[in-house]
Amino acid sequence: MAQSFPVPRTCPFAPPPEYEAMREQAPLVRASLPGGEVWLVTRLAEAKQVLMGAGISTSPATPGHPNTALSAEPLSPEHAEAAKRVSPGAFIDLDPPEHTRFRRLLIPEFTVRRMKELRPGIQQVAGRLIDDMLADGRREAELVEAFGLALPSLVICRLLGVPYADHEFFQSRTRRMVTAGTDRQAGFAAVMEIRSFLGDLVTEAAKQPKDDLLGRLITGGRLTHDELVGVVFLLLVAGHETTANMIPLAALTLMRHPGQLAALRENPEGWPAAVDELLRYHSVVDWVGFDRVATEDQEIGGQLVRKGEGIFVLGASANRDERAFERPDEFDTGRGARHHVAFGYGVHQCLGQNLARAELEIALRTLFERIPALQVTVADEDLPAKYDGVIFGLTALPVAW
């Protein structure tokens, strides 16, 4: 019998419990979705094989793409037309060589060197947010709103030249997108609202381009207006939603492992490795963005996958694969687990991973340096979590010091 999918999480510190049994069963498991069946990739080696892209397409336009199976209802003509309007610039859904054209334009903006230049600004943002938390002698805060959402929103808005006054608009619409599930109407409405705003933003920015990422893309002259809007949309949504979920989860995990947190305070050089372990351990994106379809018959993990069959790579399962990680269910900041697939793998590996790592390292290090007595004020089982969301995280994290 095929595994039903998607499978919800039930714990803030672990992927769905069914993943372990699926991983033991086979590297590829057949799954039943409302609109059909797909393959689920459960182990790390096979996950990397699929994500490398040989004989594999990521484009939703490719027949058999698994996203069509997420809902039993076909797209209405209106939604199909809306999908066409928002597709330009959405390079995450393109295969080479079109994907390569966009990625080459953006790589210089996200290099390690560029991130080093951005670090003082990220540090300034983190410090100011903590100042606000500590203002007037306050001794408690809600960390998701005050820090987790605010920091990446400020950073990505600054990077893209988007007025921060509009960050609440983007946060609310993005949240609606990633929690809509199979409610395509709600998801498309949120997408179109953001795209409309960004269309006006790009038009205005083109009149007098500034020396920021958007300005440089405009003056480069290699993208159409619609492509520019699509690129900014993708970077804005991807640039804050995932990191905003990771910061509170990571802080909670470190508070639940005080010995490892103390070691990081004594040896701050361990923070980069700790960030990678947090990324592996939580894998908040899981299968979203890891949707693929075979474009030719091929063998994956001993299983014949035929042309036109859809595939979801389970990142949260691959990152707990006992064949690749010793004691994978244990949190260990000294693991050195940089070969995880939290950012994907191959040509579609997350373009903003250097930015995400820098934000997480600076946010967490600064938070625990400035507020060493930080502690959660409720039990883990009472924490509200996005168990029904396609990107996992907490909706609130009450803390005190």
What are 33-58's pLDDT values in tens digits?
A: 988 999 999 999 999 999 998 899 99
Any idea which of 54-68, 182-196, 294-308, 335-349 has the lowest mean pLDDT? 182-196
Any idea which of 44-53, 100-109, 229-238 has the lowest mean pLDDT? 229-238
Query: Is 150's pLDDT higher than 60?
Result: yes
**Separation between Cα atoms, residue 246 and residue 242, nearest integer Å:** 6
- Using CA atoms in the order 6, 181, 319, 63, what is the torsion angle rounded to 10 degrees? 80
Distances in whole angstroms, Cα of residue 89 to Cα of each of 78, 85, 93, 103, 349: 20, 10, 9, 11, 17
Q: What percent of the chain has pLDDT over 70?
A: 91
Query: Is 82's pLDDT higher than 60?
Result: no
**pLDDT at residue 349, rounded to an integer:** 93
Mean pLDDT of all residues in 226-245: 86
Contact 94, 58 (CB under 8 A): yes
**pLDDT at residue 180, rounded to an integer:** 46
Contact 351, 231 (CB under 8 A): no
Query: Is 200's pLDDT higher than 90?
Result: no
Bridge partners, residue 379, by sequence:
none
Query: Is 355's pLDDT higher than 70?
Result: yes
**pLDDT at residue 74, rounded to an integer:** 61
Query: Is 194's pLDDT higher than 50?
Result: yes
**Separation between Cα atoms, residue 23 and residue 207, nearest integer Å:** 54
Bridge partners, residue 312, by sequence:
40, 291
Query: Is 181's pLDDT higher than 80?
Result: no
Confidence of residue 68 (pLDDT cuts 50, 70, 90): confident
Query: Is 183's pLDDT higher than 80?
Result: no
Q: Tally the residues of the chain.
A: 401
Reported for 213-219, long-range contacts at CB under 8 A and 24+ positions apart, including other chains, are: 213/109, 213/159, 213/160, 213/161, 214/160, 214/161, 215/161, 216/109, 217/105
Which domains does the chain show, CATH number per domain? 3-400 (1.10.630.10)
Confidence of residue 4 (pLDDT cuts 50, 70, 90): confident
**pLDDT at residue 83, rounded to an integer:** 60
Statement: the pTM of the whole predicted model exceeds 0.95: no
**pLDDT at residue 182, rounded to an integer:** 47
Confidence of residue 79 (pLDDT cuts 50, 70, 90): low
The encoded tokens of residue 161 equal 């030249």
Average pLDDT over the chain reads: 89
3-state secondary structure of 296: coil
Query: Is 346's pLDDT higher than 90?
Result: yes
Higher pLDDT, 341 or 180: 341
